[in-house]
C-alpha cells in the first residue's frame, strides 16, 4: 500500500495499490496510523466490495467498535425516523445491517427496492437538499450524542455518483466560495480549529464541557441551519431556556443525555481537536475556578460557532468529489463533515455508510503525553 497526500487538500491521504477485501495486517496498521495523523484516508477503486467485505474491513481497522451507530432496530434517532415514515429515506441492507444505504433515487440493491432521499420536506423544504434542515452546510460528527458514545471512525463507499454539474458555495458570505462537484462531501478539521485559537481561548476550551440535548436529533430534526452550517436556527428552545436555566437539574436533565469535553484528545498522537456537535448542543459548562460557569443556550451556540468558524474557511476545507468505487474512512473524533447543498432533480446518488458506536467516551487529556488507548 502506498500513501500519498491528496492534491491541494489541507489534510488527508490517498491509499493506492490496495484491495480492501484482502488487505494485510501491516496495511491495516498503516491505515489506522494514517487516520490518526492525516485524519482522512481515501481508497479508490473499491467498487467490487460486497457489503460484508466493507464491514470486515471497517472492523479490521476498528476492532474496538461496538454496535452499529444508525441501527434502525436499536438506535433511538433511527427508530424515530422510521416511526415518522422514514422521510430521510435511509435504509439498512437486510443481509448486512452494518451498512446503511443513503443518497437519492430509486434503487433495487441487495434486496432493497426503495426510494433513497425520501420526503425531502423533512430536510427544510429545499428540493433535492442533502443537508438536514435544508440550506448549504451542516457541519457535524457522526453519532447519536444520546445513550451511546460516537465511534472513532466513519466509512463511506460510493456506489453511484451523481453525473450532474457542481456548484459554487459561498456558505460564509465572504466572497471566497468553494467549488463543489455534485454530491460532494466537505471535511474540516477540529485540530485546525484548536490550533488556530489564542492561548487564552484554548485554555478556556480545555476546561469546558458540552451538555447535549435529550434525544437531540428528534428535537432538531426539522430545524434549519445558519448558512455556514455551524449553528441550528432554534428560536423556540432559545426563548424557552434563557441564561441561568441550563444547569444540572434543569429541564435539560436526562440520565441518557450526554456530556462530553469540548476538546477531544487523540490517544494515539496526543493531538487536540475542538469537537462539538453544534446541532445537538444544549449548553456549555466551564470550570477554570472553584465554581463552574454555565452559559445559556444562545450564548453557548454562538460561542461554538465563533470557535469553529476559522476552520471552515475555504482554504481549510477538503471537498471530496466522489467517484464510483471510492471508499473513504475518516477519524470521526477529529474531523467534522457536511453534505454540500442540493442535487439536481435528475441526479442519482447511492452511498454505503458504515459507522459503529464506541465503548469509550471521548476524553480531553490536559497533558496529552499521558494519553493511552
Q: Is 168 helix (H, G, I), strand (E, B) or coil?
A: strand
pLDDT of residue 252: 62
Distance CA 219, CA 216 (A): 5
Task: Report yes or no: 154 and 319 within 8 Å, Cβ to Cβ.
Answer: no
The per-residue pLDDT string of the chain (373 residues; one tens digit each, 9 = 90 and over) reads 999 999 999 999 999 999 999 999 999 999 999 999 999 999 999 999 999 999 999 999 999 988 787 666 666 666 666 666 555 567 889 899 899 998 888 899 999 888 887 544 333 344 455 565 455 788 999 988 888 899 999 999 999 998 888 888 888 988 888 888 988 999 999 999 999 999 999 999 999 999 888 878 777 777 778 888 898 887 777 776 655 445 544 556 677 788 999 999 999 999 999 999 998 888 899 987 778 888 888 889 999 999 999 999 999 999 999 999 999 999 999 999 998 867 777 888 999 999 998 989 999 998 765 444 3
What cell numbers appear for 149 in the block? 458514545
Those residues whose C-beta lies under 8 Å from the C-beta of residue 248, and which sit 6 or more positions away, are none
**CATH 3.30.1490.20 applies to domain 2-190+320-358:** no
Q: So where are the chain's domains?
A: 2-190+320-358, 193-310
Q: Pairing state of beta strands 349-355 and 208-212?
A: unpaired
Q: Pairing state of beta strands 208-212 and 281-286?
A: antiparallel
What are the φ/ψ torsions at residue 26 (nearest 5 degrees)?
-65, -40
pLDDT of residue 7: 95
pLDDT of residue 236: 73
**What letter would DSSP give residue 123?**
G
| Furthest-apart CA atoms within the chain: distance in Å | 60
Q: Pairing state of beta strands 2-5 and 13-16?
A: antiparallel
pTM of the model: 0.91
Q: Where are the alpha helices (DSSP H) in 132-266?
A: 190-195, 199-206, 216-220, 235-240
Which residue, 223, 304, 221, is CA-closest to 260?
304
Helix, strand, coil: what percent of the chain each, to 5? 25, 30, 50
What cell numbers appear for 118 in the block? 425520501
What are the φ/ψ torsions at residue 312 (nearest 5 degrees)?
-110, 15
pLDDT of residue 122: 35
Amino acid at each position: 500500500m502506498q500513501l500519498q497526500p491528496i492534491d491541494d487538500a489541507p489534510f488527508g491521504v490517498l491509499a493506492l495499490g490496495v484491495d480492501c477485501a484482502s488487505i494485510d495486517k501491516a496495511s491495516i496498521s498503516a491505515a489506522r496510523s494514517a487516520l490518526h495523523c492525516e485524519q482522512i484516508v481515501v481508497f479508490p477503486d473499491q467498487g467490487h466490495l460486497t457489503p460484508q467485505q466493507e464491514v470486515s474491513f471497517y472492523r479490521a481497522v476498528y476492532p474496538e467498535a461496538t454496535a452499529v451507530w444508525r441501527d434502525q432496530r436499536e438506535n433511538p434517532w433511527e427508530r424515530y425516523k422510521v416511526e415518522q415514515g422514514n422521510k430521510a429515506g435511509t435504509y439498512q441492507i437486510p443481509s448486512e445491517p452494518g451498512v446503511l444505504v443513503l443518497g437519492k433515487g430509486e434503487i433495487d440493491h441487495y434486496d432493497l427496492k426503495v426510494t433513497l432521499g425520501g420526503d425531502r420536506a423533512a430536510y427544510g423544504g429545499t428540493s433535492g437538499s442533502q443537508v438536514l434542515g435544508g440550506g448549504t452546510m451542516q457541519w457535524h460528527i457522526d453519532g447519536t450524542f444520546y445513550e451511546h458514545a460516537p465511534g472513532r471512525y466513519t466509512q463511506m463507499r460510493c456506489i453511484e455518483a451523481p453525473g450532474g454539474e457542481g456548484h459554487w458555495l459561498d456558505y460564509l458570505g465572504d466572497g471566497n466560495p468553494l467549488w463543489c462537484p455534485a454530491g460532494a462531501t466537505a471535511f474540516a478539521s477540529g485540530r485546525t480549529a484548536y490550533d488556530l485559537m489564542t492561548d487564552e481561548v484554548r485554555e478556556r476550551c480545555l476546561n469546558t464541557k458540552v451538555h447535549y440535548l435529550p434525544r437531540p436529533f428528534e428535537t432538531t430534526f426539522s430545524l434549519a441551519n445558519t448558512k455556514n452550517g455551524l449553528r441550528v436556527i432554534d428560536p423556540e428552545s432559545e426563548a424557552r431556556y434563557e441564561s441561568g436555566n441550563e444547569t444540572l437539574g434543569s429541564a435539560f436533565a436526562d440520565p441518557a443525555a450526554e456530556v462530553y469535553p469540548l476538546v477531544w484528545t487523540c490517544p494515539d498522537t496526543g493531538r487536540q481537536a475542538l469537537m462539538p456537535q453544534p446541532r445537538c448542543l444544549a449548553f456549555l459548562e466551564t470550570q477554570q475556578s472553584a465554581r463552574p460557569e454555565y452559559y445559556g443556550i444562545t450564548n453557548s451556540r454562538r460561542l461554538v460557532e465563533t470557535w469553529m468558524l476559522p476552520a471552515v474557511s475555504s482554504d481549510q476545507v477538503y471537498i471530496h468529489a466522489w467517484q464510483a468505487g471510492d471508499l473513504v474512512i475518516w477519524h470521526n473524533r477529529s474531523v467534522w463533515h457536511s453534505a454540500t447543498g442540493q442535487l439536481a432533480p435528475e441526479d442519482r446518488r447511492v452511498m454505503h455508510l458504515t459507522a459503529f458506536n464506541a465503548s469509550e467516551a471521548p476524553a480531553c487529556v490536559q497533558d496529552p503525553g499521558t494519553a493511552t488507548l
